[in-house]
Amino acid sequence: MERFFKFQENGTTLTREVLAGCVTFVTMAYILCIQPALMSGAMIGTDTGMPAEALLVTTCIASAFACFLMGFYANYPLALAPGMGNNFFVVCELFPACALALGMNVGEAAVWQLAIGTVFIAGCLFLIISLLKVRNYLLVLLSRSSKMGICAGIGLFIAYLGLKNAGILVIANNQPTMGSFLTPDAAIFWSGLLVSAVLMIRRVPGAILFGMAVSAFVAMGFGRLEIAGIFGMPADPMEVAGKMDLAGVWVNLKHLVPFIFILLFMDVFDTFGTVIGVSHQAGFMKEDGTIPRMDRIFLADALGTMFGAFCGHSTVTTYVESASGVESGGRTGLTAVTVGVLFLVSIFFAPLILSIASCPPVTAPALVIVGVLMAGSLAHIDWQDKTEALPAFLILAGIPFFCSIASGILCGVIVYPFLKLLTGRVKETTPGMFILAAVMLAYALFLR
């Protein structure tokens, strides 16, 4: 094991790596409750036709596969799972688009199978980009401010759904308004949110998970949550695995091209940003800014997305929570492997996890906290430069106001290059930005 992971060379030990993996897993384990509830539609109040029981099993399998790949192939302490933000985009945007293309309702199997096929194609493109080493060309298709606006806008959208699920935000006469604080759901939500926030401020690993645990206990006290059990045999993963409709993607390609590119961009940017941040923290980055085995990291992420789609899930991506494991001393792939093992063990806790996931106020605090973390990207937007600020703001405001991630992104991506052109600053753009804007504009005018 020393020969493979090179503990001494990386200044770590086997025990420290395993403990770091445990810390990383605890900080990202909330996805086990969020992902099945979201992909099945329970979290958004729309049945997608995907069974939550099978989704939990495949969440664990897909995450474990990607973590093992990152650990054994790339030898980095980076953990992967279906990404927050990407999953909301798939369910809230891609599912309805596929339903529209097929002339069906969202709950029909053909719809989610087409959507998952679309995710798989995006993963294939990511793999090709990684193999051809042209990812840097893709990274400049969107400005930094647009990337930050997308991240923050999705964060606001996720927080909006969290507040709505907790009953803190209600829709009355087609207008959003504040709900009552004197309800069990409000008590469940606020208790979990405050605990998560306090623990996060005090830098306690697993703050979101502990907050959900507090919410669950409060929910049981109010009779809003019943635990069906703790241990159980896993459901059949083949209920959702291997069902992607690749032929359907080809037939409906003109409707799905923008979604494929958005999924691709989100995965590339998420991975690149996380890897840069964690590598700098861990000391992996060289003086010239390069990161050893970067290609292997991207290949592991791309293959993880493809396998995740095969398992019936949204984009699998590298988690920023990996930083918690690095902070705890993780320096090699054994940290990621440990996370993968814990994901597999979680399969046998399905009754407990699914019980918690079935109560929206319990998972709502996690959504709000994730929204806060994603909104932190606003600090990286140059608000003094209006050619940067306006497109970013259109994305930021458009996503939650339109209740549509794709619509918000369309607005900002279309405006950015033309605003630069009309203000005499076209040198700050790239030809690819204009091509992307033209594709998005054509989609908005003729295909939406």
Taking only the tens place, the pLDDT of each residue in 128-164 is: 988 887 776 776 778 888 888 988 888 898 899 889 8
pLDDT > 90 fraction of the chain, expressed in percent and rounded? 53
Q: Does residue 447 surpass a pLDDT of 70?
A: no
SS3 377: helix
Residue 161: its H or E element: helix 144-165
Taking only the tens place, the pLDDT of each residue in 156-195 is: 988 998 898 899 988 777 778 888 888 999 999 999 999 9
**189-192 LR contacts (CB < 8 Å, sep 24+):** 189/215, 189/361, 189/364, 189/365, 191/215, 191/218, 192/218, 192/362, 192/364, 192/365, 192/366
Beta partners for residue 175, in sequence order: 172
Find the length of the chain.
448
* pTM (2 d.p.): 0.86
Determine the Cα–Cα distance for residues 229 and 105; give it in Å rounded to an integer: 33
Determine the Cα–Cα distance for residues 98 and 92; give it in Å rounded to an integer: 11
The residue written with tokens 């800014």 in the block is 289
Determine the Cα–Cα distance for residues 174 and 110; give it in Å rounded to an integer: 31
Give me the mean pLDDT over the 365-384 stretch.
Answer: 89
Taking only the tens place, the pLDDT of each residue in 23-35 is: 899 889 999 999 9
Where on the phi/psi map is residue 143: left (φ > 0), alpha (ψ -120 to 50), or beta? Answer: beta
Q: Does residue 343 surpass a pLDDT of 70?
A: yes
Residue 4 is encoded by which pair of tokens? 């493979």
In whole numbers, what is the pLDDT of the chain averaged over residues? 90
Residue 281 is encoded by which pair of tokens? 């923290």
